[in-house]
Chains A and B, each alone.
Chain A
Amino acid sequence: MDILLQQIINGLTTGSVYAIVALGYTMVYGVIQLINFAHGEVVMIGAMVAFSVIMALVGMGLPLPPFVIVLGGVLAAVPVCMAIGYLLERVAYRPLRHAPRLAPLITAIGMSIILQHLALLVWGRDPRAFPQIMENASFAVGGAAISSVQIAIILLSVTMMAGLTWFVYRTRFGIAIRATAEDVRVAGLMGVDANRVIAATFTIGAALGAVAGVMYGTYYGIAHYTMGFILGLKAFSAAVLGGIGNLAGAMLGGILLGLVEALGAGYIGDMTDLCRWPVFGELLAERCAADGHVVLFGSNYQDVFAFLVLILVLVFRPSGLLGERVAERA
């Protein structure tokens, strides 16, 4: 098996999900310079709602094709998450629009905890396993395998990214969003109601997040009330990596982060295998002969890579890969 190609395929898959979640962070940040830390929880609730709907549909025993069942989950998750995204803005952030910047940031963390515990009350503390209804066919690609779920995730993500780009760059309301991001008060002079634009960025981001949650849940086959935290943190890192506030940056950052993580996970075992190192190899010759390898860090360290990348970006290019201005006030 070709490990490099396989890890690239895996990385593209998770990277697509990160990119879609990162778009939610970056859109909100672009317009009101707020890091909506509750966004990861919105993604989690998307996965949970889809889980419940899929379980219910499977439970009814109707002769529905698996694709339709998952689609049913998505169609339920999207409006629920849009409503939550809208309410977050309306109830938690709008009253603090002109408050000192720390206030909405702390509120965001508070909303994140509230949503997490709401999910705990509704779905319980055990991981919920998605039913394996999708016939996960695998296709050989030059020594590696790509599953139908992976293909679906990548295609759906690319479609959503293209759709969002079209919306933001080609439609009247999309141009208004970009104008508002640049100067709220001048956009107001053009008749743009800032409240509508801000509410729209929250709901659009939440809709994308809902789909991302379902993709993540079906890919790993599991949903848990804490899953939004680490997923959100990684997607936020992806947004910062690409340059927060920049749509193309969030997409690029998400894909890159997925790739770095997958390649890191794929090779860290080999790289930290002391038997391959010159001095240690001789010192540990006996154990190496017996076990074959003495590995310092295994692939369970993959989460480290996301944050290693984040730290390196913050040190060497604080404005991100495609960012123009430094987010100095966040």
Chain B
Amino acid sequence: MAEPPSDERYALLEALNLEVHYGGIAAVRGISFAVEAGELVCLIGANGAGKTSTLKALARMIPARGEIHYRRERLDRLPSHALIRRGLALVPEGRGIFARLTVAENLAMGAYHRADRAGIADDLARIYDMLPRLKERATQVAGTLSGGEQQMLAIGRALMGRPRLLLLDEPSMGLAPLMVEKIFEVIRAVAAQGVTILLVEQNARLALQTCGRGYVMESGQITLADSAARLLADPRVRAAYLGE
């Protein structure tokens, strides 16, 4: 019998001609891109370039046209709540924590689709280890956390789902520089554990310094795609996004 094709021969995630429209306005105009297993890829661009719409489309939170292939399955045919079972988690823009639930309840929600009690307890211990601030505030209502703590919680909650692919939407938004550094430390640590990450960021320099590869989006289209190092050196990127 022939061997079934292994996962490695395909990208973990591949979007083909992805389009998002709000009413008559096109936010994403037929973009195609891929993320390989184990990569840390970033999607940079100005405000309103369509980055968040792209992530929301991938997570099936908004209607979109085009194909989304993920582990040889068509995501564009699945409802949003079916994705986490397949290992795809999104940390939404603005964090999307449940403000009236406690920190511990938020983390429990991250593992909502799992039934392995022992595994959940292990992951919770690991996340409390990595983000000790969350452990200190476990019984506190999440709405009382600072912005940075809320972002930590949102990432910790997504990790409770044991994702294969983590989509991060603007994790640095509205945070003090010191906190942004901490968040990016966490992102690097998560990537080092083998989680594939697609990161959307406005802070282009920090994103490109963290990622291996990057896409640049402009008015709903991908205008540049290259290794992060080459994008950092690219004069167009330097002029438009790095303020040089």
Contacts and interface: CB of A to CB of B under 8 A. Distances in A.
Q: Do A and B come from the same complex? A: yes
Interface of A: 172, 175-176, 178-179, 182-183, 185-194
B98 A186 contact: yes
Contacts of A186: 92, 96, 98
Contact of A191 (B61, B99, B108, B112): B112
A188 B100 CA distance: 17
Contact of A172 (B100, B112, B161): B112
Given A186-B96, A190-B84, 7 more contacts: A175-B101, A182-B99, A189-B80, A189-B81, A189-B84, A190-B112, A190-B161
Interface string B72-88: 00000001111111000
Contacts of B112: 172, 176, 190-192
B39 interface: no
B77 to A, nearest CB: 16
Interface of B: 59, 61, 79-85, 89-90, 92, 96, 98-101, 105, 108-110, 112-113, 157, 161
A188 B96 contact: no
A148 B108 CA distance: 43
14 contacts: A175-B109, A176-B109, A178-B98, A178-B101, A179-B109, A185-B80, A188-B61, A189-B61, A189-B89, A189-B96, A190-B109, A191-B81, A191-B161, A194-B81
A190 B110 contact: yes
A183 B61 contact: no
A179 B110 CA distance: 11
A179 B101 contact: yes
A188 B83 CA distance: 9
A38 B207 CA distance: 53
Top 9 nearest A-B pairs (CB, nearest first) are: A191-B113, A186-B96, A191-B84, A188-B80, A188-B81, A190-B112, A190-B109, A182-B98, A193-B81
